[in-house]
Structure 1
Amino acid sequence: MKKTLFLLIVFLFSVFSAIDAQPPVVKKRQMNQQTRINQGVKSGELTKGETVKLQKQQRNIRQTKRAVKADGVVTKGERRVIQHKQNKANRNIYRKKHNQLDRD
Structure 2
Amino acid sequence: MKGYAMKTTKLFAAVLVSAFVLPAFAQSTPNLDKREEHQQERIAQGIQSGQLTAKEAQHLEARETKLANDEAMAKADGKVTRKERRKLQREADRDSAAIHHQKHDKQTR
Query: What TM-score comes out, normalization by structure 1 length?
Result: 0.77
Equivalent AA in structure 1 for residue 102 of structure 2: K
Q: Residue 20 of structure 1 aligns with which residue?
A: 26
- Which of the two has higher C-alpha Rg? 1
Q: Does 1:39 align with 2:45?
A: yes
Please state how far the C-alpha of 1:23 moved relative to its aligned partner.
Answer: 2.0
Q: Does 1:56 align with 2:58?
A: no
Kept in 2, the 8 Å contact 1:21–1:72? The answer is: no
Equivalent AA in structure 1 for residue 88 of structure 2: I
Q: Residue 75 of structure 2 aligns with which residue?
A: 69
Unaligned runs of 5+ in 1: 1-18
Equivalent AA in structure 2 for residue 98 of structure 1: H
Kept in 2, the 8 Å contact 1:45–1:98? The answer is: yes
What is the aligned length? 85
Root-mean-square deviation over aligned CA pairs = 1.7
Please state how far the C-alpha of 1:100 moved relative to its aligned partner.
Answer: 1.8
Query: What TM-score comes out, normalization by structure 2 length?
Result: 0.73
